[in-house]
Amino acid sequence: MLNGSVTKYKSLLSQEEGVIQKDRTALRAGVLFTLLIMALPSAAELAVGSMDVKWNEGAEDCSKTAQPPLQVHRYNEFTFILRENPCATYEAPFMYLLMGSTRALLIDSGDVSDPQAMPLARTVRSLLPVANFPLLVVHTHGHLDHRMGDGQFAGTAGVEVIGTSLQEVTRGLHLTDWPNGSATLDLGGRTVDVIPTPGHYPSEVSYYDRATGLFFSGDFLLPGRLLIEDTAADLASARRVAQFLADRPVSYVLGGHIELDEAGQTFLGVHHHPNERVLQLSKEDLLSLPDIVSGFNGFYGKHGVYILENQNRVLVAFAAALLAILVAAGFGVRALIRRRPERLARAKRDTTPARVD
């Protein structure tokens, strides 16, 4: 009887401690929610943040230089910029974590799927105010270097991951008039606008955070190559964004990569990014995009620091040129082979003594 009573008492005590722990968690969450709401700016002002950061540049020989795979920069108390190290992936993409009072938003999940090599999900969870804080994972577009980390969030309580197909994007982000309309995401005291920006990718979107005035442009606009697969769609997107932001404050335009050094040279397929230029672009850069894209010939061109390129057409042209070189070389070899017997016969005649009768 005594043992049974003790066991029952311990069980009741354990249940009570569990309730107390849940209450503490709820209280902590409530306090944090209140602090977040107080920290979020009013509609009349923007939350100030800092871009005073030096991004890790990778290395010429990454095997000899140990570096953290993921860099986190605190823009302000509820906005974080994450970047995958160039040694982890030469793409070195950027991701953005925005917190509201009821849920957080992660824009893009990077280029590395292995959580041991790239602890993205663990890092994001460590930045959230409480365990199991609701998180929405979205993307600027569906290229692999912006969504390979999705699997790290699979099966995690409180996490929703929106896919990158056009159907998944329009349904998950509530875009009812693609690509002309826009939508909003409510994070709790913080509203993020979703603007369709196809041209680089068919289901690409960009995000405007009303709290900070940050515009997250993915590969639609970044310091480097502007890879345009559909010129008409890209031009329409540039005009749509310029119209949307014409009367709205923009603190910075933040893209998916840095592809230029300070001298304007591009980083392509390399793990060392020395002397990178800054990530951020300005509202003026964004508003000038329609004029830049309207002058694009649909193949290749340069405009200031930007390189505009239709990658598929360039690859086709390169392949055609290579094929032409190979065909020409083949004809040359064939001609040499056909002429070789004639040369041998001529040489034999030249070295044969004249016959005397």
70 lies in some domain:
yes
Same domain, 209 and 328: no
Question: Strand, helix or coil at 354?
Answer: coil
Question: Strand, helix or coil at 261?
Answer: strand
Q: What's the pLDDT score for residue 20? A: 43
Per-residue pLDDT tens for 331-347?
A: 666 666 766 666 666 76
> What's the rounded mean pLDDT across residues 253-278?
95
11 lies in some domain:
no
Q: What's the pLDDT score for residue 325? A: 66
> What's the rounded mean pLDDT across residues 212-220?
98
Same domain, 215 and 345: no
End-to-end CA distance of the chain: 138
Q: Check whether 30 has a pLDDT greater than 90.
A: no
Q: How many CB atoms lie within 10 A of CB 290?
A: 19
Same domain, 83 and 193: yes
Q: What's the pLDDT score for residue 5? A: 46
Residues with Cβ within 8 Å of residue 5, at least 6 apart in sequence: none
19 lies in some domain:
no
Q: What is the average pLDDT value for the chain, to the nearest integer?
A: 86
> What's the rounded mean pLDDT across residues 260-278?
95
Q: Check whether 28 has a pLDDT greater than 60.
A: no
Q: What percent of the chain has pLDDT over 70?
A: 75
Highest mean pLDDT out of 12-21, 233-242, 325-334: 233-242
Q: What's the pLDDT score for residue 206? A: 98
Q: What's the pLDDT score for residue 2? A: 39
> What's the rounded mean pLDDT across residues 113-134?
96
Same domain, 202 and 322: no
Please answer whether residues 221 and 305 qualify as being in contact, where contact means their C-beta atoms are separated by less than 8 angstroms.
Answer: no
Rg (CA), the chain: 29
Same domain, 258 and 333: no
How many residues does the structure list for the chain?
Answer: 357
For residue 202, whether the previous peptide bond is cis, meaning omega lies within 30 degrees of 0, is no
Q: Check whether 348 has a pLDDT greater than 50.
A: yes
48 lies in some domain:
no
DSSP character string of 85-120? -TTT-TT--EEEEEE-SS-EEEE---S---TTT--H
What CATH number should be reported for the domain holding residue 116?
A: 3.60.15.10
Looking at the structure of the chain, the number of domains it has is 2
pLDDT band at 304 (very low <50, low <70, confident <90, very high): confident
Instruction: Give me the domain span that covers residue 336.
Output: 313-352
Same domain, 225 and 332: no
> What's the rounded mean pLDDT across residues 166-173?
98
Tokens 């893209």 appear where? 255
**How would you classify the pairing of strands 79-84 and 70-76?**
antiparallel
Q: What's the pLDDT score for residue 201? A: 98
Q: What percent of the chain has pLDDT over 90?
A: 71
Q: What's the pLDDT score for residue 237? A: 98
Question: Strand, helix or coil at 348?
Answer: helix
Instruction: Output the CA torsion 330→332→333→338 (10° steps).
Output: 120
Gap between the Cα atoms of 244 and 5, Å rounded: 69
Please answer whether residues 37 and 101 qualify as being in contact, where contact means their C-beta atoms are separated by less than 8 angstroms.
Answer: yes
Q: What's the pLDDT score for residue 356? A: 55
Strand order in the sheet with 104-107: 70-76, 79-84, 94-99, 104-107, 135-138, 159-161
Same domain, 226 and 340: no
pTM listed for this prediction: 0.81
Q: Check whether 216 has a pLDDT greater than 60.
A: yes
Of 203, 221, 229, 208, the residue nearest 147 (C-alpha): 203
> What's the rounded mean pLDDT across residues 80-108?
98
> What's the rounded mean pLDDT across residues 52-57?
97
